[in-house]
Amino acid sequence: MSDDAQTSQAWLELAPDYERARSREDSLDRLVEWPAQRDVLGDVTGRSVLDLGCGNGGKLAELAEAGATGSVGIDVSGNFLSPAPPGVEFIRGDLSGLDSLPELAGRTFDRILFLQSFGYAKDPVRTLRAARAMLADDGFIVLTKTQPIRYAVERAEQNGTSLGEEYFSAEPFSYVTGWNENISLTKRSYTISDLINVFSAAGLWIETAIEPQLSEDARRRYPHKQAWMNKYLGILIFKLRPGQP
């Protein structure tokens, strides 16, 4: 089985563990990531949203509640909220094959999301181009990604190597997720410049980049999470638009 097929297979098992971890009061998704992602999305009233790698679709459900309409969530795990919230359709599918999903043919969206899912694209430029082609006028993409430095720190510790050696290693790597210690995922290595070059090759420019952090209040309440952030930095959020600025 290829690394990609293995990773998709792993997500079939991992999906419920991920959602359980995400819903914890002290999860970084709850404390840092989703509030920052939500902020970049702004007012979604009357906007259609395509969420690629949507997990169970909980974030899309919140956006629908906030006024988004005609939205679609796609995930390889097929572990969706049931019934789907009004105004939301879920499709089990692969974000590496967007142009072969009949449900998406001829459709456009005001917002397209890759929230911690872009790393699973087999051909990142192709996937981003396909997403770009589905953007409505004045639409944008919100793409979030774990800081590549986080994985480099972990691997340097595990392998007894240095940060630079791991950060610049182009090899795919496997790691055991914090959501289930029996399941490992394989990821492509990215440096920050790789990411920027992928956006550029897909004909997108970065309108905004954000490195969200815990609020003062959350730092006080969850010092173990601040310790984690101090070591691993967190995620990157990019707001991407087609063409040149």
Ligand X SMILES: C[S@@+](CC[C@H](N)C(=O)[O-])C[C@H]1O[C@@H](n2cnc3c(N)ncnc32)[C@H](O)[C@@H]1O
Applying CB under 6 A, the residues found at the interface with ligand X are 8, 11, 15, 18, 22, 29, 53-55, 59, 74-77, 94-96, 115-117, 120
Cβ closest to ligand X, residue 18 vs residue 167? 18
Minimum distance of ligand X from residue 204's CB (angstroms): 19
| Least distance CB 37 / ligand X (angstroms) | 7
Q: Which is nearer to ligand X, 60 or 204 (CB)?
A: 60
If the CB atoms of residues 48 and 117 are measured against ligand X, the closer one turns out to be 117
d(CA 74, CA 60) in angstroms, rounded, equals: 10
* CB-nearer residue toward ligand X: 53 or 139: 53
CB nearer to ligand X: pick between 53 and 212: 53
Smaller CB separation from ligand X, 177 or 197: 177
CB of 239 to ligand X, least distance (A): 16
Closest approach of ligand X to the CB of residue 35, in Å: 12
Crossing angle of helices 34-41/58-65, nearest 10°? Answer: 40
Number of H helices, E strands in the chain: 10, 9
Q: Are 236 and 213 in contact (CB under 8 A)?
A: no
Residue 131: which residues within 8 A CB-CB, separation 6 or more? 50, 52, 98, 112, 114, 141
C-beta of residue 195 within 8 angstroms of C-beta of residue 171: no
Separation CA 100–CA 97 (nearest Å): 6
Tokens of residue 123, six digits: 């051909």
> For 81, which DSSP code?
-
What is the smallest separation between the CB atom of 218 and ligand X, expressed in angstroms? 18
Q: Are 185 and 146 in contact (CB under 8 A)?
A: no
Q: How far is CA 120 from the centre of its chain?
A: 9
| Residues facing residue 135 across a β-bridge | 109
Query: Least distance from C-beta 169 to ligand X, angstroms?
Result: 22
Task: Report the nearest approach of ligand X to the CB of residue 222 (Å).
Answer: 19
* Cα 188 versus chain centre, distance: 14
Nearer to ligand X, 2 or 193 (CB): 2
